[in-house]
Structure 1
Amino acid sequence: MPYRAVRISLLAIAIFCGGCAATGDMAAKGTADAPAAPEFSDAAIAAAAWRTLPTEAFRGKRDDISFADPRHGWYGTGQGDLFATGDGGESWAKISSHPGTFIRALGFVDANTGFIGNIGPGYYPGVTDDVPLYRTDDGGKSWTPVDLGGAHVAGICAIDVLKTQSIYQGRLEPRTIISAAGRVGGPAGMIRSLDGGRSWSVIDMGPWTSMILDVHFFDAQTGFVAASSASDVKTANAQILMTRDGGAHWSEVYRADRPGELIWKMSWPTERIGYGTVMSYDQDNPHKVVIKTVDGGLSWTEMPFVEDGKAIELGIGFVDADHGWVGTSLGGYQTVDGGVSWTKAAIPIYANKFRVVPQADRSTAVYNIGTEVQMLAIEP
């Protein structure tokens, strides 16, 4: 798995094993009536400190960072530059540059194969590239446009890479599912591959939403998008949409009643517990919230976050059910009680994406990217 522990299809394993239970490292532990217990102690979290990694200076925020394993990672910029590390982020090198491309999202399957999402023209000045999704098979050095068969998607804001298993002739076989969706400002669309990128389908998301900012699938059929109801943010309401049939149909499972909002990013520490940032452009409203689900996304609850109208929420990342971080325009915040309370964290402004990367020594690395690139090493 490129940036999270491998998630196994529980249905496939149940069929194959005759009902035996198995989960990946980050899969749900618990039931609907008994939420998963924290995997990390408060002491372990308190002992860890965010460390800024050496990267090339960039004016503004960078949007995504992706790891294929504990050592191999990548991040991109709005100027089309792609950087790679082979030592867990201790050093970075520019490996390719595509002027006119805005690298908004990344998802790597392994150290060679990955996907690069471009936001597309018409939103940010200077973006001229209209290819929404690229594939690389040499670790990012060269890019090939993904063939969509003539279909069009305006741009990509998020990529989800799911490593699972399926049954083939009585055997469990590895399967990689890629879902890419966007975009901020609209229109909304999704690109999916159920076979590791050999073939693709395009889903027009316009009937259900106007913007997509994040995407997450648990298996081939069940997934969520972070969204907004209108392309004009002044009238937009924040949304979470859910599919049970691989994206053919979607239902709204959360919608805010305040204008000027969208769900920017999600974090799913288990299959039942998930969080989302509610980005608000209403600076007159000081009451900022995050949303949380404890029933696998069927319902969501708003939880008080910070009291500051200038706090624009961005990235969110949880290592377990209780411990997580949120990036904002004012800096980062941390919770150790599942979002009930938040305190300031040593995270720079505009942290846009968090990635949780299990390490070979049973420790966990958490990365964030925005105006800086940081790593938090949590010991077991």
Structure 2
Amino acid sequence: MKAEGKTRRGRRLWTLGMCAALAVTVLSASAQAQQGPTALRGTAGGADSPGAYGSASAVAAAKPTWRPTPAGTDVRFRGLAAVGRKAAWVAGAEGTVLRTSDGGRSWRDVSPPGASGLEFRDVEAFDTRRAVVLAIGEGDASRVLRTDDGGATWTETFRNDEPGAFYNCVSFFDRRNGLAVSDPVDGRFRILATSDGGRSWRVLPDSGMPDALPGEAGFAASGQCLVTAGARDAWLSTGGGDHARVLHSRDRGRTWEAAAATIPAGDPARGVFGLAFRDRHHGLAVGGDFTPELPSPHAAAVTGDGGRSWRPSDQPPPAYRSGVAWLPHSRSAALAVGPTGTDLTRDGGRTWETVDTGSYDTVDCTRAGTCWAAGEQGRIAVLARR
């Protein structure tokens, strides 16, 4: 099945279907205060000291690998939030949400009642009790739900009523302020905002949003197409158009500036899939073509000016990658992940080395240095050193 010539609806079905045939590991950077919701994930479980998996430099030197933990299900997880040394949330297909508080020895099913028809692709957790999950899809399939009691009860806080909208990712600056992004509506990406921790949402005016390119959209592959750093900066990644772009907002989503990325696009299956910023200036982008067996040259890029310009990695990952994250407390080490493996950089994204061949869809780390991955067939794993 080819992605060429697809309509926007076709691209979305391709993302839901064909992309679901892949395994993508996404490592969303946590632990850094500059990284918005990931800072919450790193601190919510308490003042963690460096944990069992060591410092960022130790992990980088040891060539990390993933140690699976039993989840008791075979659904696919694309959303994950690490909130402490032993606590994490995952969200995925069939409206499934799981939570652990014992380092993955056991996972508790805390799925919202009646949500089996929803496709969860992102979860943002503030601590072991409070979390927000995003369901993707056209029209009213795009929804946001929140829990304040560890998943015992859930409240639907947003249901999309715009037929042309399709929400892909959600991200928070802090415990109250966050954004969600939809594919273009009437020619511009649509931004949803909250100022009360996801209890209510409003659509922001699109007057400050540049026009979308023909065929341009986001990718709901891992929850990393929208990221934040600090109190006001946000970035969103795109593909599908003639060229991939990264859009940057300095005012919590009210206005945006677009910059061309060096990762190839020009097809509904190609573009930038994942972003990670360790501060307002230094960022990484990964992507490529998620079509199975197709090559993805130039699958990574770096910026040192807040996303105003991007340059390709000198030695990129060998294949498509949809997720990338800075290792906690590191200014130069990061991981990029995808269906064929995990790659490590020790020089800020200039060169990458494959360190694991496992398949996952999403990953997150805590301030303590504990990292989790989740993906197809109910796979959830913890980063270990060998």
Q: Same fold (TM over 0.5)?
A: yes
Counterpart Cα distance in 2 of 1:307 and 1:220: 31
8 Å contact from structure 1 (residues 112, 138) kept in 2: yes
Report what 1:143 is aligned to. 154
2:96 to 81, 87, 95: 81
2:241 aligned with 1:240, yes or no? no
How far 1:346 sits from its partner (Å)?
2.0
How far 1:211 sits from its partner (Å)?
1.9
Counterpart Cα distance in 2 of 1:8 and 1:258: 29
Higher Cα radius of gyration: 1
1:374 to 372, 378, 381: 381
Partner of 2:254, secondary structure, is coil
Counterpart Cα distance in 1 of 2:171 and 2:275: 11
Report what 2:177 is aligned to. 177
The one-letter code matched in structure 2 to 1:341 is T
Per-residue CA shift, 1:304-334, capped at 9, x if unaligned? Answer: 45585xx332111221232122222322222
How far 1:109 sits from its partner (Å)?
1.6
The one-letter code matched in structure 1 to 2:197 is G
8 Å contact from structure 1 (residues 160, 215) kept in 2: yes
88-97 or 111-120, larger mean C-alpha shift: 88-97
Report what 1:221 is aligned to. 232
Counterpart Cα distance in 2 of 1:147 and 1:103: 14
Report what 2:106 is aligned to. 91
2:276 aligned with 1:267, yes or no? yes
2:126 to 109, 134, 139: 109
8 Å contact from structure 2 (residues 316, 351) kept in 1: no
Partner of 1:64, secondary structure, is strand
Report what 2:62 is aligned to. 46
8 Å contact from structure 1 (residues 7, 162) kept in 2: no
| Richer in strand (by share) | 1
Describe the shift of the 1:56–1:250 C-alpha distance in structure 2 as closer, same or farther (beyond 3 A).
same
1:63 to 64, 78, 86: 78
Report what 2:23 is aligned to. none
Q: Percent identity?
A: 21
8 Å contact from structure 1 (residues 130, 154) kept in 2: no
325-334 or 284-293, larger mean C-alpha shift: 284-293
Counterpart Cα distance in 2 of 1:345 and 1:317: 15
Report what 1:330 is aligned to. 340
How far 1:107 sits from its partner (Å)?
0.4
Structure 1: state its 5+ residue gaps.
Answer: 10-22, 27-38, 123-128, 164-174
Partner of 1:358, secondary structure, is coil
How far 1:84 sits from its partner (Å)?
0.9
How far 1:301 sits from its partner (Å)?
1.0
How far 1:198 sits from its partner (Å)?
4.5
TM-score under structure 1 length normalisation: 0.73
Report what 2:9 is aligned to. none
Report what 2:211 is aligned to. 207
Per-residue CA shift, 1:227-278, capped at 9, x if unaligned? Answer: 22xxxx3x55211001123222211123446412221111123332110112
Counterpart Cα distance in 2 of 1:106 and 1:176: 15
8 Å contact from structure 1 (residues 278, 291) kept in 2: no
| Richer in helix (by share) | 2
2:322 to 291, 314, 323: 314
TM-score under structure 2 length normalisation: 0.72
Structure 2: state its 5+ residue gaps.
Answer: 1-27, 43-54, 220-224
Counterpart Cα distance in 2 of 1:206 and 1:253: 11
The one-letter code matched in structure 2 to 1:358 is R
Counterpart Cα distance in 2 of 1:249 and 1:341: 33
Counterpart Cα distance in 2 of 1:365 and 1:375: 7
Per-residue CA shift, 1:327-378, capped at 9, x if unaligned? Answer: 22322222222223222222412x332212112xxxx112222233222257
How far 1:85 sits from its partner (Å)?
0.5
The one-letter code matched in structure 1 to 2:364 is R
Describe the shift of the 1:266–1:258 C-alpha distance in structure 2 as closer, same or farther (beyond 3 A).
closer
How far 1:290 sits from its partner (Å)?
0.3
How far 1:180 sits from its partner (Å)?
1.9
Counterpart Cα distance in 1 of 2:231 and 2:98: 30
How far 1:207 sits from its partner (Å)?
3.3
The one-letter code matched in structure 2 to 1:66 is A
The one-letter code matched in structure 1 to 2:31 is A
